[in-house]
Amino acid sequence: MFSVVCFTRSSSGLSFDFYAVSCPSAEIMVKNSVRSASSTDPTIPGKLLRLFFHDCFVEGCDASILLQGNDTERSDPANKSLGAFSVIDSAKRVLEIFCPGVVSCADILALAARDAVELTGGPNIQIPTGRRDGRVSLAANVRPNIIDTSFTLNQMANIFSAKGLSMDDLVTLSGAHTIGSAHCRSFSDRFKLDSNGKFNLIDSSLDKEYAAELTRMCPAGASASVTVNNDPNTPLLFDNEYYKELLVHKGLFQSDSALLNDERTKNIVLDFANNQEFFFESWIQSFLKLSSIGVKRNDEGEIRQLCSMTNG
Ligand code: HEM
């Protein structure tokens, strides 16, 4: 039974345990890199998960986000706050020693995001591998494919649908905001302090006391590098707390609050808030869909030697 599952090809042309023969320790090596980086820096899991999302939504899950250079995806302002590139680089370095030229950066990133979830208490997901690394990375492709916090539910659903993801997937994958953090500028337009220092709530879908707390954490003139936890209660745990916070109007971004404020998504938010197991089961399915968006096989891509540059 085990080997049947292991070698089954998924609909994306990927297969489970793709490296079983060519690099049997690939997955464990990635996991060790993620584990050791996260033990010294607990912000790593959140960064890895977001990095993967931004990779998959632009050009598919092909590690195009990792390419450095003028006008690559990384240079778009929406990607300036991405991190954890060094974790992927160090996993790649180890893999190049033991299995040179075998494991793609796209797979390393997918596995690392998967591991980030498990490491923070989320479900353990077996994901298919065999992705090839893309050769194209253009800043101009970022805006049309990445969601801004100001988007309406319809705008978000349209982008998700263009990737083969449903509105349920949108609610489920937004649950990633149960870990990680955000810079003040990504939510500071939801309230403001007037010239007399008086607090004004601009977005009434945000809890007033929480907003006031956020202004204290993000005072005027604060450094642009200040960050606030996405999940105010259990920021280091991958759990269903994000949905519980949504219910009490403590979704950090306007795009989070939008999920509670629409009848089409409200009930799923409620279900996930009430039942973590159900959220985890849905997460597994939605994550598998996310991780197979636009994957490249065979000649469509390559196995990069360095994750930050194409083989040239
Ligand atoms: C659906 C619309 C989404 C919007 C508008 C959105 C927006 C954002 C923004 C603005 C930040 C803060 C960035 C910063 O200031 O550093 C953020 C953080 C984050 N996002 Fe999303 N996001 C969305 C969906 C997702 C999805 C689908 C995932 C993953 C599956 C995800 C994973 C994360 C994670 C883990 C963080 C924390 C990053 C860190 O700690 O560095 N997001 N998101």
**Residue among 73, 63, 29 nearest 310 (CA):** 63
- Other beta carbons within 10 angstroms of residue 225's beta carbon come to 8
Please tell me the total count of domains within the chain. 2
- Do residues 169 and 87 share a domain? no
Rounded distance between C-alpha atoms, residue 256 and residue 69, angstroms: 32
Active-site hit among 31, 54, 250, 304: 54
172 Cα: distance to centroid of ligand 1 (angstroms) = 13
**Residue among 43, 201, 231, 63 nearest 135 (CA):** 63
> Is position 54 annotated as part of the catalytic site?
yes
203 labelled ligand-binding: no
Atom 33 of ligand 1, nearest CA residue: 50
Percent of the chain predicted with pLDDT > 90: 91
Quote the pLDDT of residue 7: 45
- The number of the ligand 1 atom at minimal distance from the alpha carbon of 160 is 1
Could you tell me if residue 171 is inside a domain?
yes
- Do residues 36 and 133 share a domain? yes
Domain of 138 in residue numbering reads as 2-147+292-300
177 labelled ligand-binding: yes
- Do residues 38 and 83 share a domain? yes
Residue 10: which region, alpha, beta or left (left: phi > 0; alpha: psi -120 to 50)? beta
- Do residues 267 and 198 share a domain? yes
Rounded distance between C-alpha atoms, residue 135 and residue 104, angstroms: 12
Quote the pLDDT of residue 1: 35
How much is the pTM? 0.96
Task: Report the half-sphere exposure of 40 (CA within 13 A, side-chain side).
Answer: 7
**At 5, is the pLDDT very low, low, confident or very high (cuts 50, 70, 90)?**
very low
> What is the tens place of the pLDDT at every residue in 23-46?
999 999 999 999 999 999 999 999
Could you tell me if residue 312 is inside a domain?
no
Could you tell me if residue 306 is inside a domain?
no
- Do residues 284 and 296 share a domain? no
- The number of the ligand 1 atom at minimal distance from the alpha carbon of 179 is 35
Quote the pLDDT of residue 9: 63
221 Cα: distance to centroid of ligand 1 (angstroms) = 24
> What is the tens place of the pLDDT at every residue in 119-133?
999 999 999 999 999
Q: Which whole-number Å values give the CA distances from 54 to 5, 188, 221, 244, 296, in the listed order? A: 29, 22, 29, 25, 16
- Do residues 159 and 29 share a domain? no
Atom 40 of ligand 1, nearest CA residue: 180
What is the SS3 assignment for 79? helix
Could you tell me if residue 310 is inside a domain?
no
17 labelled ligand-binding: no
CATH number, domain containing residue 221: 1.10.420.10
- CA angle 87–142–299, rounded 5-degree value: 70
